[in-house]
Structure 1
Amino acid sequence: MNKRYLIMICLIIIILFTTSCGTNKAVEEPITVNFSFVDGIPALTVAKILKENPTIDENITINYEIQKSPDLLVSKVLKEEADIAIVPSNLAAQAFNKGLPYKLVGTATWGTIYLVGTEDINSVDELKGKEIYAFGKGLTPDLVLRFVLTENGIDPDKDINISYLNAASEVAPALLGGKAKLALLPEPLVTNIMMKKEDIKVVLDLNEEWKNITGTSGGYPQASLIIKTDLIENNREFVEEFIKLYEESIKWAKENPEKLGDYSEELELGVNKASIVEGIERINIGPFSIGESKEEYKIYFETIMDFAPDFIGGKIPNEEIYFER
């Protein structure tokens, strides 16, 4: 009799233990992942995902936060409120050097800054003595321009006159109105003004100039995808699938400008369809993989370090900044 009771008790314990383990494994707390990026070209790289809104994990909801200003995006990252973000590449370095828990995953867009105007300029040398209207003093557009000029033997503070305005939106009217003959502008503004005034043309593609100087194949990584370390560590399958979908979204955007234009206008991403269709090559989306572009990042960080070390947080990030799958 005692033996029978002992066997029954053992069976009950086994059943309770098995049921308990199964329950713990099945119950997962739902989480929300905040994905932040600014409107404009960065948003275009996400257009396919935004439109289709795929479910990657039943327990994970993606909250898409389209910021209307770069300052709001910077705040989201520095306060660690963004789990995933598309940021200027220098901000990825700043965050890493501040000890913030983000990994650099890949390139959203390469250089989209151009020198445009009504003058016939055939080489960088011919810019000597000219006036260039520009924006973003001390920021990426300015630093890239200064790097290209310097590497071509032109002192940007002595050999030319750079007139800085507050924003690119102020530079464009100066060029359209004839006040400026040469202007530093980003896409999609470049395409917008070229469609409005036929005698305006691209004088220098700064990304191409960067490639020629540095010997890199991609140019300078203008915007990058970063992901929080704890999200990578605790939800690896979700992160892997998300990155796969994002890569597909970038590829799709590059190959389908007409549809991308439709999505942009429907989702109010800040770029009109005509600018996308006409300027898709200058928008410079992709390739994405960090494994294929790490050298570009190293050169970019080293170059910025020489010109404006504070812009990347005072030092060149080490290998720990990169997330390679």
Structure 2
Amino acid sequence: MVFSFAACAGKSVNNEGESQTEETTTIRIGAMAGPTAMGMVKLRKDSENGNTKNTYAFEDFATDASAFVTPLATGEIDIAAVPSNLAANIYNKTEGKVQVVAVNTLGVLNLVERGNTVNSISDLKGKTIYATGMGAVPEYTIRYILSGNGLDADKDVDIVWCSDTTEALSKLKSEDGAIAVLPQPFVTAASAQISGLRVVMDLNEAWEKINNNSKIVTGVIVVRKEFAEKYPEQLKKFIDEYNESVAYTSSNIDETAQLIAEYGIVASEAIANKALPKCHIVCYINNNMRSALEGFLQVLYDQNPKSVGGSMPKDDFYYEY
């Protein structure tokens, strides 16, 4: 389902003071359900209420990020909130037809234990770790952090890859002392169901101890390059309005949690309320965006070039606002 409105035009003034008609259009937006979409809920609600400078058409939040690959490539949507490495993959697949305009979500992985034997990454030596995301960002992140702490992911620990968070939850429920690396807001939901489950650490902390030149970047906002070139003023307004939406998210937890539940991103408003501060919703643009994202993609590339589409994105991948 798409909430859409008619295209429109506005007035601008050129350098000679002459009034010009500035072409505008409805901006079609997609986002993956989960933390990647959380910073967008206030903007979506404002759009539905007619309280935005731009006119937006929001697609229903998707559970599969790959759902945006073809629509971005073919021009069916203009802007999307997607996983960071998927953005690089789309860039390479389309030969540079998308650009990143913002980092919108930092790391959401937590190390959890149903017990009290692990208090640092080094304590994981000889342990079994349950995790999801084999062959994707979670795996590369876990391997990098283990390596940075002197542990070989294939020799020093036993990583058991679960097919999904439901399988991981069953492992945590059935095994005393179970250890896992899992994402928010799932960790918050699991903690409500499993007595004694504790968060050992936020993996952002572990990352920053071994790499202070980048951050774990879970999600980004991408735009079709053609759209960015044709509607630069509308794109700037979107970035401003998205930034305001993120600021609202950070300072109005209760109201945002209600919207997150309303849009089905998290089933429970109570879980959304507890998890939101732990999901690291941000809006990094320009140099802050590039420094955080480029270093993270380099870590992924060094482990497996296919993780970012075969090659590191070039300078034009990063949109300068």
**Which of residues 92, 99, 104 is equivalent to 1:103?**
99
Deviates more, 1:305-314 or 1:269-278: 269-278
The alpha-carbon distance between structure 1 residues 215 and 86, as it changes in their structure 2 partners (threshold 3 A), is same
Which of 306, 313, 317 is 2:302 aligned to? Answer: 306
Partner of 1:14: none
Distance, in Å, in 2 between the alignment partners of 1:51 and 1:177 is 41
What's the TM-score once normalised by structure 2's chain length? 0.86
Aligned pairs for 1:42-61 within 5 A: 42-53=36-47, 54-57=51-54, 60-61=55-56
Q: Contact (CA 8 Å) 2:96, 2:316: kept in 1 or not? A: no
Measure, in 2, the Cα distance between the counterparts of 1:265 and 1:117: 27
Residues 297 and 266 of structure 1: CA distance in aligned 2, closer, same or farther (over 3 Å):
closer
Q: What CA distance in whole angstroms lies between the structure 2 residues aligned with 1:161 and 1:320?
A: 40
Are 1:208 and 1:219, in contact at CA under 8 Å, matched by a contact in 2? Answer: no
Q: Counterpart amino acid of 1:84?
A: I
The aligned amino acid for 1:237 is E
Alignment of 1:249-264 (within 5 A): 249-264=245-260
1:124 aligns with 2:118: no
Question: Quick one: structure 1 residues 183 and 75, their matched pair in 2 at CA, closer, same or farther if it must change by over 3 Å?
Answer: farther
Paired residue secondary structure (2:265): coil
The alpha-carbon deviation at position 188 of structure 1 amounts to: 0.5
RMSD: 2.2
Report what 1:33 is aligned to.
Answer: 27
Whether 1:83 aligns to 2:75 is no
Equivalent of 2:239, from 240, 243, 267? 243
1:324 Cα deviation (Å)? 1.3
Taking the aligned partners of 1:283 and 1:83, their CA distance within structure 2 comes to 25
Unmatched segments (≥5 aa) in structure 2: 1-19
Please name the residue that 1:169 is paired with.
166
Distance 1:55 1:171 in 2: 41
Is the contact made by 2:52 and 2:241 (CA closer than 8 Å) also made in structure 1?
Answer: no
User: CA contact under 8 A between 1:41 and 1:271: conserved in structure 2?
Assistant: no
For the 8 Å contact 1:133–1:183, the answer to whether it is kept is yes
Relative to structure 1, the CA distance from residue 208 to residue 271 in structure 2 (aligned partners, 3 Å threshold; closer, same or farther) is farther
Q: Say which SS state the counterpart of residue 154 (structure 1) adopts.
A: coil
Q: 1:49 to 1:149 in 2, by over 3 A?
A: same
Aligned-pair CA distance for 1:228: 1.1
Q: CA deviation at 1:256?
A: 1.1
SS where residue 59 of structure 2 aligns? strand
Larger-gyration structure (1/2): 1
How many Å apart are 1:266 and its aligned residue? 2.3
Q: Alpha-carbon deviation of 1:180?
A: 6.8
Deviation at 1:76, TM superposition (A): 3.0
1:315 is matched with 311
Work out the CA distance in 2 between the residues paired with 1:254 and 1:145: 27
* 1:109 Cα offset (Å): 0.5
Q: Which amino acid aligns with 1:64?
A: E
Aligned pairs, number: 298
Query: Aligned-pair distance for 1:154?
Result: 0.6
TM-score, length of structure 1 as denominator length: 0.85
1:195 corresponds, among 192, 196, 199, to 192
For the pair 1:68 / 2:58, whether they are aligned, the reply is no
Shift of 1:241: 0.7
- Compare 254-263 and 32-41 and name the one that shifted more: 32-41
More helix by share: 1
Identity between Structure 1 and Structure 2 (%):
27
Q: How far apart, in 2, do the equivalents of 1:27 and 1:185 lie?
A: 47
CA distance in 2, matches of 1:33, 1:114: 35
- 1-side partners of 2:46 and 2:56: how far apart? 14
Letter in 1 for 2:62: Q
